[in-house]
Structure 1
Amino acid sequence: MRSPAMSSLPSPAPSAVRRRLILLTLCVSLFMAMLDNTVVNTALPTIERKLGAGISDLQWIVDGYSLALSALMLTASTVGDMFGRRRAFVAGLALFAVGSTVCALSRDVNVLISGRVLQGAGAAAFMPGTLSIIRQVYADERERSTAIGIWAGVSGLGLGLGPLVGGPLVDHFGWPSVFWINVPVGMAGLIAGMLLIPESKDRAGRGLDITGQLLAVAGIGAGVYATIEGPVRGWSDPAVTGLYIGAGVVLLLFVLVERRSRTPMLDLGFFRDRIFAGSVLAGLFLYLGMFSVLYFLSLWLQVVLGWSPTGAGLVIMPAMVVVACVTPLAGWLTGRIGGGWPMAAGLVCSAFALYGLTRYGTGASYRHFWWLLPVIGMGMGLTITPITATVLDRVPAARAGMASAVSNTARELGGVLGVAVLGSVLSSRMAERLRERLTAAGVPASERDRLVAATTGGTGRPQAGLGAGARLSHAVNGAFVDGLHLAELSGCAILLAGALLAVALVRGGRGPAPGSRGGKSGELDTSDAHDDTDGRATVAT
């Protein structure tokens, strides 16, 4: 026997006022999640002193969040699409608030890392749903494009404002305050979500792809774990290489399973669309090249130049002002010329900013490099909105959550890879240059090796408090800056490669992919009703 597989019936369109309140709720929650990618950066030196954290601990505090977020986002998006996007949004906010409370109360670095993982799991549950809910609530394409532009602007602002918000909080209220701030915001979003957001889900012809879910979590988790540990243990360490091999095998199995599944958690057909694939890659390259800069910039300002956490946070303000101004323009351009050229222009701007930062070192002053910060904001603003709008525009509405999760996962993976790989580049060059400086100073080989090992780490972070005086401090800072410049040049090359990909794959792409919508705005094409893997009307066994 066969029976119709029903998806949830559409609810009446919310009023204009309610739509704005829903968008506000979604954007505030998204801002909080993106903020937590970078807000902790300014607190790292304080956490190191207060909790006795080491190099590996500090990297896990940063990347434990990204690990959980990137590994669980695809799974969470599928669960939200099937069982209710509002339900997943509310549950994710609750888990995020719990994780924030664990972080704020922790007095042990391992507990703090566990709290960061809980935060990441909560963010994975609600972040993909924010775009899916926008897609459902805003039926008019022009209104939806504007809403997506606002969403993308808030995403960029949250990422960039992390140091600005975190600095004053750490200076005046201590490092736990960067986590306590999430609790009232999360609870307010939870209550607003329950009251305002209509429930929506698309279960037509779909089932839980348990095998695919487990393989995706295991493969992404193993790969990200190896990338985080690689700079600390060494890239040739058997555990690291074993994890990479295991991740490759598991992800290959994942692709094979998804190709055979009647109800896959990831529709691999998305990637046959060059415009969708190019947009996802552009996001990956943006975060791979730029995300780590926010991490390194904070360390450079505080450890090398001696700035306070507040000062290091305020330095990013010009970039954020430009992001807020440019994202609506980027959305307008995308609607008229497609997303390829704005993405490429943003990536080129970001590459130019990184190259410009290589001109400044241990004696830099804000008046020398301030002009590069608006360029960073221009690059982020021109790139994020076109990526988001293009990805959503190329898929059916019923697959908006899956497409959003794919795009967000790619960006999170880019951020993790950026910190780990470019951090390894920085660390290697720093160790090489420090060894040269110590040799020139006549330091004995045994002492030289000890100092190099004690002063550098997998993240390339220079360590203070070694008790070796101003001369060693000057050598360490100079070596750190040499490593930082090489990492910035490497990031510049990555961003330029991303710009070329955007031009080659996304240029000229406007509007939805063929067959992704029906005749009316926001409706799905039901001409392929027999296809039970694309979320349209179907008949299931």
Structure 2
Amino acid sequence: MAELSSRRKYLVLATLCATMFMAMLDNVVVNTALPRIGQELHAGVSGLQWVVEGYSLLFAALLLTGGTLGDRYGRRRIYLAGLALFTGGSAFAALSGTTGLLIAARMTQGLGAALLTPGTLSILRHTFEDERERARAIGLWSGISAIGLALGPVIGGPMVDAFGWASVFWINVPIGGAALLLGGRVLPEYFTRTARLDLPGQLLAAVGLGGLVYALVEGPSRGWTDPVTLGAGVAGVVALLVFGVVELRTADPMMDLRFFADRVLAGAALAAFTVSFGMFGVMFFLPLYMQNVLGWAPTGSGVAALPCTAMIMIASPLSGRLALRYGVRPPLVAGLTLCAVALAGLSLYGSGARYPQYLWVLPLMGFGMGLSFAPASIAVLRRVAPSAAGMASAALNTVRELGGVVGVAVLGAVLTSRLASGLTHRLESAGTPPQARHDIVASVTGDGAGGLVRGSGLPPALHRTMDASFVDALHLAVRCGAVVMAVTAVAVFLLLRSRPDPVSPVSGPVLEQSGAALGA
């Protein structure tokens, strides 16, 4: 294929950055609206988790299939199809009048994101063939994606206050429409394989992830020994084990697990997973804490996130330059460590906290996140042959998104379980009748009317009890997240090399086999 002109290259970059900004923004912008959604659509904590997880679960489960479809039918074609689905799903979400419809719309968005995302990094890889030019493009792309994550609360808060929660979905429609028009004109087309889809692998991955996430989200409210919860969890574990066996034996896997036999690739993937695990979990909790416990309005809680946003904008481009000069290990380890400290810091503050007290946590969190985005992508593209770039980018994006899915599910399960037990104990100590106690706990933790919402007419003493229980549960959840991130920082330090690899990608036996198996 003839080399693209400089003007077209940067139009391609602008299109990809705009759509990834939109996708990443949508990943978190809904979090600011969660308290208002819970109030107006009568959703408890698990219902709100599904609003978040409906998107992330479809995104993660179908991301590799999206990459395969792009390789087979053309990355531009599948990218544009995904963008159209995502934009339509956004309009569907804005018009939803029930929690069930909103979750279905979020799943449509997740499907669209799974189709458009894999081609993004691969198109960049082929558009920018010079190593340093590509690194700069990836740094800019990663930085704008990170800014989308950071600006979600800042943009979402004022919109929720002024126009209602549906406005956080309407914002995607003009961006998506403009990107469709521009992308249809400037995006190049690439095909790299003609192999069949791995339908058994896709089915097993969907069942495995769906079963585990369902068990983690519903377990605290339904009960961990409930037959449906146990059945979903067991089915999920078994399906994922069989998935591993199938992927190792098939000639054309949706995810070649030998990819992770390389310690540098494994370290980069582990870092990407864990950053998403901790930070997506916190992004789910923080709006509930700030709006429902501390009494902030959506606009105030969004503006309060500006220090985090500013640090992401500074650290994201810096991380790409650091990775090129010193290797990917220093920025990744530093980012994980800063995020761990920030999560631990959040556990120091309760229902009476004032903004100046915990302000230091937010820039620390943002700088850690910003340091972690670009280096993982650079590590992967440096270690694989160009022919395997599509597989590698899809695998990294899948791992990163899985981190968010698992983080919201696991840390949410920790929070909801502790919240249910703590609230039950406090209500019992206050002499609340058993049926009323059961109804209050179910309302707060399950699919009920969201008892944490302020101004709902509940007695002040009951609000204080709920707030105390929520803060206690939040502290446990963020401490668990901090421990996971700290342990991962040590593991990444041991796995990754301290100096950057040569400019030409390494292609050891594992990667050569992976490329052959993928038909790349």
- State which of 155, 158, 166 in structure 2 corresponds to 1:176: 166
Pick closer, same or farther for the CA change 1:64–1:531 going to 2, 3 Å.
Answer: closer
Q: Measure, in 2, the Cα distance between the counterparts of 1:321 and 1:459.
A: 37
- State which of 407, 414, 434 in structure 2 corresponds to 1:418: 407
Pick closer, same or farther for the CA change 1:456–1:53 going to 2, 3 Å.
Answer: closer
Deviations 1:126-151 (A, max 9, x none): 01111000000000000111111112
Q: Measure, in 2, the Cα distance between the counterparts of 1:311 and 1:493.
A: 30
- TM-score scaled by structure 2? 0.93
Deviations 1:257-312 (A, max 9, x none): 32232222222221110110111111111111221111111111100111111111
Moved more, 457-466 or 358-367: 457-466
Q: Measure, in 2, the Cα distance between the counterparts of 1:243 and 1:439.
A: 31
Matches within 5 A, 1:248-327: 248-327=237-316
- State which of 204, 215, 226 in structure 2 corresponds to 1:215: 204
**Residue equivalent to 2:489:** 499
Question: The residue matched to 1:532 in structure 2 has which SS?
Answer: helix
Q: Measure, in 2, the Cα distance between the counterparts of 1:339 and 1:458.
A: 43
* 1:375 correspondence with 2:364: yes
Matches within 5 A, 1:502-513: 502-508=492-498, 510-511=500-501
Shift of 1:498: 1.2
Shift of 1:430: 2.6
**1:306 partner letter:** G
**Which blocks of at least 5 consecutive residues in structure 1 are unaligned?**
1-10, 519-524, 537-541
RMSD: 2.6
* 1:533 correspondence with 2:517: yes
Pick closer, same or farther for the CA change 1:110–1:379 going to 2, 3 Å.
Answer: same
**Residue equivalent to 1:147:** 137
Q: Measure, in 2, the Cα distance between the counterparts of 1:404 and 1:431.
A: 40
Is the 8 Å Cα contact of residues 395 and 513 (structure 1) preserved in structure 2?
A: no
Give 1 or 2: higher helix fraction: 2
**Residue equivalent to 2:181:** 191
Is the 8 Å Cα contact of residues 77 and 405 (structure 1) preserved in structure 2?
A: yes
**1:325 partner letter:** I
Matches within 5 A, 1:41-52: 41-52=31-42
**1:423 partner letter:** G
Q: Measure, in 2, the Cα distance between the counterparts of 1:419 and 1:514.
A: 38
* 1:133 correspondence with 2:123: yes
Question: The residue matched to 2:517 in structure 1 has which SS?
Answer: coil
Q: Measure, in 2, the Cα distance between the counterparts of 1:390 and 1:459.
A: 45
Q: Measure, in 2, the Cα distance between the counterparts of 1:12 and 1:510.
A: 30
* 1:101 correspondence with 2:85: no
**Residue equivalent to 1:343:** 332
Q: How many residues align?
A: 518
Shift of 1:185: 0.7
Q: Measure, in 2, the Cα distance between the counterparts of 1:235 and 1:391.
A: 38
Deviations 1:205-234 (A, max 9, x none): x33333333333333333333333333323
Is the 8 Å Cα contact of residues 168 and 309 (structure 1) preserved in structure 2?
A: yes
Q: Measure, in 2, the Cα distance between the counterparts of 1:67 and 1:500.
A: 28
Pick closer, same or farther for the CA change 1:453–1:35 going to 2, 3 Å.
Answer: same
Shift of 1:125: 0.2
Is the 8 Å Cα contact of residues 146 and 370 (structure 2) preserved in structure 1?
A: yes
**1:246 partner letter:** A
Pick closer, same or farther for the CA change 1:68–1:328 going to 2, 3 Å.
Answer: same
* 1:404 correspondence with 2:393: yes
- TM-score scaled by structure 1? 0.90
**Which blocks of at least 5 consecutive residues in structure 2 are unaligned?**
none
Pick closer, same or farther for the CA change 1:515–1:291 going to 2, 3 Å.
Answer: closer
Shift of 1:115: 0.8
**Residue equivalent to 1:64:** 54
Q: Measure, in 2, the Cα distance between the counterparts of 1:38 and 1:515.
A: 34
Pick closer, same or farther for the CA change 1:174–1:467 going to 2, 3 Å.
Answer: closer
* 1:431 correspondence with 2:415: no
Deviations 1:309-346 (A, max 9, x none): 11111111111111111112211111122212211111
**Residue equivalent to 1:3:** none
Deviations 1:492-527 (A, max 9, x none): 101101101111111336326997469xxxxxx9x9
- State which of 90, 106, 115 in structure 2 corresponds to 1:116: 106
**Residue equivalent to 1:80:** 70
Shift of 1:468: 4.0
**1:296 partner letter:** F
Q: Measure, in 1, the Cα distance between the counterparts of 2:192 and 2:332.
A: 31
Q: Measure, in 2, the Cα distance between the counterparts of 1:160 and 1:187.
A: 23
Q: Measure, in 1, the Cα distance between the counterparts of 2:502 and 2:111.
A: 31
Q: Measure, in 2, the Cα distance between the counterparts of 1:244 and 1:427.
A: 17
Shift of 1:448: 4.2
Shift of 1:162: 1.2
**Residue equivalent to 2:14:** 24
Shift of 1:90: 0.4
Shift of 1:163: 1.3
**1:64 partner letter:** G
Q: Measure, in 1, the Cα distance between the counterparts of 2:518 and 2:124.
A: 20
Pick closer, same or farther for the CA change 1:226–1:412 going to 2, 3 Å.
Answer: farther
Deviations 1:463-500 (A, max 9, x none): 23664411111121122111111111111101101101
- State which of 459, 484, 487 in structure 1 corresponds to 2:477: 487
Pick closer, same or farther for the CA change 1:369–1:459 going to 2, 3 Å.
Answer: farther
- State which of 219, 225, 230 in structure 2 corresponds to 1:230: 219
- State which of 211, 230, 233 in structure 2 corresponds to 1:241: 230
Deviations 1:365-399 (A, max 9, x none): 11111121110111101111111211222222232
